[in-house]
Amino acid sequence: MHSLFGGGSRSNLLCTLIADTTDLPVLQMQTELANYGAVLLSVVRLNTSAADQNRFAAIREPVCFFQPDPARMARYRLTHQRYCALEAKLLS
């Protein structure tokens, strides 16, 4: 399973493409997950209460979940095989 965050994770198309080409599910996470992680480390370092730390638990929840699609996976595989065959011809 992949967990995607950052600017690219906002693209449903990119998440779908990664799920289909890797044959692994993709969790679309909060886009600013790295920033939230830095804040959470600061909160822990400052020895705040468990209640304060629980306020940040939601950042670990995925925004969306993408499953690989077998039909699209087959199309991508075929396209990749064609690409490899053409590349071999060009380089020979």
The model's pLDDT over 7-50, given as tens digits with 9 standing for 90+, comes to 888 899 999 999 999 999 999 987 676 777 777 777 777 776 66
Name the residue with tokens 């599910």: 25
List the CATH number of the domain containing 44. Answer: 3.30.420.40
Range of the domain at 79: 2-91
Count of domains observed in the chain: 1
Give the C-alpha separation, 92 to 48, whole Å.
64
Q: Which pLDDT belongs to residue 15? A: 94
pTM, to two decimals: 0.67
